[in-house]
Structure 1
Amino acid sequence: MELSNKSEYAILSLIALAACYFTGESLQIREIAARQNIPNRYLEELLATLRRGGLIKSIRGVKGGYVLARDPRKITLLDAFRCIEGLDADVPDKTSTSKTVETEVIQEMWEEARQAAYSVLQKYTLHDVCEQRAKRRQMELMYYI
């Protein structure tokens, strides 16, 4: 399992929005792109997908932009991953047509590994990621003093 650029950029954009959630501030595409070093055109597509997935809302007008659709403590990394990748963690992959004992064993082990990975992603919220980022930034500041 590998984190795609698409998923990474989506999570980065969600983190930027999570950091502004409690102030009520909305962020425009160019602001998110600048903060997270994401190409504007690519970000537009990702934000549209996240909006359709119900993770963010768009606000029109002069002070418009994007905000999280719900509290960052209620949005897990798995929610973001599923929204972007279009994957369903609850349904095992049954595409193999050759059902030998070996392929069944491999499929069962792969499913166990996938469920373990999804379990970890389900455990962490956007709020958790923001807290970890703040702790690391604090440690970096302390190191330089």
Structure 2
Amino acid sequence: MKISTKGRYGLTIMIELAKNFGEGPISLKQIAREKNLSEHYLEQLASPLRNAGLVKSVRGAYGGYILARLPKEITAGDVIRVLEGPITLVEGIEDEEPAKQALWLRVRDAVKDVLDTTTLDDLKNHDNDQQQESYMFYI
């Protein structure tokens, strides 16, 4: 399974929304500017995230997007499935030998487990931890 820019940038949007959870909406323009990404592309990703009930849009001059649920209630797997589809590593494994079929299923399940147990809260906090660690090197 290869995660495309859809999944990666979608997670970027969601992590930024998680970082600002409870502080009001954030515009995609702001996220695009801060992360040096295409605003137009982010707009294309926001629509399926909204349709899946992961984000809500807020209209108006100070509008943007907010998470529809708490950051600890949304997993990376939720986001990836919306933008990339089902998590599968090998197509047609039913035609494989039993040993290889078992291997591919174990790998798929391990990937699913990581994605489904990693919340936006974990990812947002990890970013904060990384920033604090990097500052320590410059003291």
Name stretches of at least 5 consecutive residues in structure 1 with no aligned partner.
none
Aligned position for 2:3 = 3
Q: Does 1:84 align with 2:83?
A: yes
Determine helix, strand or coil for the equivalent of 2:61.
coil
Sequence identity of aligned pairs in percent?
35
TM-score by length of 1: 0.86
Q: Does 1:69 align with 2:71?
A: no
Structure ID, larger Rg: 1
Structure 2 counterpart of 1:8, one-letter code: R
After the TM superposition, which residues 1-145 of structure 1 pair with which residues of structure 2 at under 5 Å, given as runs?
Answer: 1-23=1-23, 25-87=24-86, 95=92, 99=95, 102=97, 104-145=98-139
Name stretches of at least 5 consecutive residues in structure 2 with no aligned partner.
none
Counterpart CA distance in 2 for 1:26 and 1:5 is: 23
User: Structure 1, residues 39-74: CA drift from partner, whole Å, max 9, x if none?
Assistant: 111111101111111110101112111110110011
Counterpart CA distance in 2 for 1:57 and 1:36 is: 21
Counterpart CA distance in 1 for 2:107 and 2:50 is: 30
Structure 1 counterpart of 2:71, one-letter code: P
Measured at CA, do residues 136 and 88 of structure 1 come closer, stay the same or move farther in structure 2, by a change above 3 Å? closer
8 Å Cα contact 2:72/2:119 also seen in 1: yes
In the TM superposition, structure 1's runs of 4+ consecutive aligned residues that sit over 6 Å from their partners are none
- CA drift at 1:123: 1.2
User: Structure 1, residues 10-55: CA drift from partner, whole Å, max 9, x if none?
Assistant: 00010111111132x2111211111222211111110111111111
Counterpart CA distance in 1 for 2:90 and 2:54 is: 26
User: Structure 1, residues 57-104: CA drift from partner, whole Å, max 9, x if none?
Assistant: 101112111110110011011111111112167xx977467x46x2x4
Q: How many residues align?
A: 139
8 Å Cα contact 1:16/1:35 also seen in 2: no
8 Å Cα contact 1:73/1:127 also seen in 2: yes
User: Structure 1, residues 90-133: CA drift from partner, whole Å, max 9, x if none?
Assistant: xx977467x46x2x432332122101110011111011011111
TM-score by length of 2: 0.90
- CA RMSD in angstroms comes to 2.1
